[in-house]
């Protein structure tokens, strides 16, 4: 009888030991961390990504900055830039391809929080001012990608609006110059929104810059939903050469559109190249106007 009781006690201890060991093993396993949803700008002919914003419950938040502590930048790279990691390319507001991480270097002097990538899409070839977005966030827009060149009539209407901005600033544009003008459909209603970047020579060493978003009104004519005018002279450039402005520095330009909050209307994302970093803005439609919903400046390095 005593032997039987002894065996039962030993068996009970073994069972308790196994349960305890299993519990400790489970507690010892680190929780698998899921990378926060993020949006990248796809730049440099589709060869580079730069963090633009985290997406948190329908809101945009600042991502890691190139000016952050090296430990923070390194941790970011480990989470988002593992070679082979694939992100969805957003072009024309929809999933239009793949952006795959090739390499990154958190110690790189001017691109510590950026990465080299390979961009593949059957919809477009990224080149020059034709840029895109990349993300691991859910894409609510299931419609086909919509992004194209404007028709001659659309361009004519848009440029008339641009000229009116210059006139408002007491300038008479002799020749309009553009970085790009793009037709998009932010809510799949069949009416194209137009986004464009223009400039004029105010004089030999001064440029007038206009960024504009135009919507088609109820009468079928385009109206400005947002416009911004800036004047830049050669002394105001860090390089001291106005030609850099003509090449695109300081111009606000379209990246693409993406409905990050799932409300059915895509937000418009833009990019401004400067000498020491880059600026990003997201515009959200509000009561017929495009308002600034988010801004982020990413530091690269000193000029």
* Alpha carbons 184 and 191: distance in angstroms, whole number: 8
pLDDT in single tens digits along all 303 residues of the chain = 444 444 444 444 444 444 444 444 445 555 556 789 999 999 999 999 999 999 999 999 999 999 999 999 999 999 999 999 999 999 999 999 999 999 999 999 999 999 999 999 999 999 999 999 999 999 999 999 999 999 999 999 999 999 999 999 999 988 999 999 999 999 999 999 999 999 999 999 999 999 999 999 989 999 999 999 999 999 999 999 999 999 999 999 999 999 999 999 999 999 999 999 999 999 999 988 999 999 999 999 998
* Alpha carbons 64 and 62: distance in angstroms, whole number: 7
* Runs of H (alpha helix) within the chain: 2-28, 70-80, 152-168, 243-246
Strand-by-strand arrangement of the 277-286 sheet: 252-258, 267-273, 277-286, 289-299
Place of tokens 């700008």: 41
* Alpha carbons 276 and 138: distance in angstroms, whole number: 32
Report pTM.
0.89
Pairing of strands 147-148, 177-184: antiparallel
């Amino acid at each position: 009888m005593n032997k039987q009781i002894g065996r039962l006690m030993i068996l009970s201890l073994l069972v308790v030991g196994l349960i305890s060991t299993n519990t400790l093993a489970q507690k010892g396993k680190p929780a698998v961390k899921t990378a926060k949803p993020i949006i990248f700008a796809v730049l440099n002919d589709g060869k580079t990504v730069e963090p633009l914003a985290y997406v948190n419950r329908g809101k945009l938040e600042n991502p890691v900055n190139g000016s952050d502590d090296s430990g923070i930048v390194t941790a970011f790279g480990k989470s988002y830039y593992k070679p082979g990691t694939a992100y969805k390319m957003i072009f024309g507001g929809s999933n239009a391809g793949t952006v795959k991480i090739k390499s990154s270097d958190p110690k790189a002097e001017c691109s510590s929080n950026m990465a080299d990538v390979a961009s593949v899409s059957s919809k477009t070839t990224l080149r020059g001012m034709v840029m895109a977005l990349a993300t691991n966030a859910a894409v609510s827009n299931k419609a086909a990608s919509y992004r194209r060149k404007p028709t001659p009539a659309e361009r004519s209407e848009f440029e008339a609006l641009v000229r009116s901005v210059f006139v408002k600033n007491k300038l008479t544009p002799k020749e309009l110059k553009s970085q790009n003008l793009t037709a998009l459909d932010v809510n799949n209603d069949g009416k194209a929104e137009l986004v464009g970047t223009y400039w004029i020579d105010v004089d030999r060493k001064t440029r007038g810059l206009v960024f504009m978003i135009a919507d088609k009104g109820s009468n079928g004519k385009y109206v400005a939903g947002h416009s911004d005018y800036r004047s830049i002279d050669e002394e105001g450039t860090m390089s001291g050469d106005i030609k850099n402005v003509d090449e695109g520095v300081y111009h606000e330009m379209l990246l693409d559109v993406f409905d990050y909050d799932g409300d059915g209307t895509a937000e418009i994302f833009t990019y401004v190249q400067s000498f020491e970093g880059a600026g990003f803005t997201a515009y959200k439609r509000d009561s017929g106007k495009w308002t600034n919903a988010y801004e982020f400046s990413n530091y690269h390095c000193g000029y």
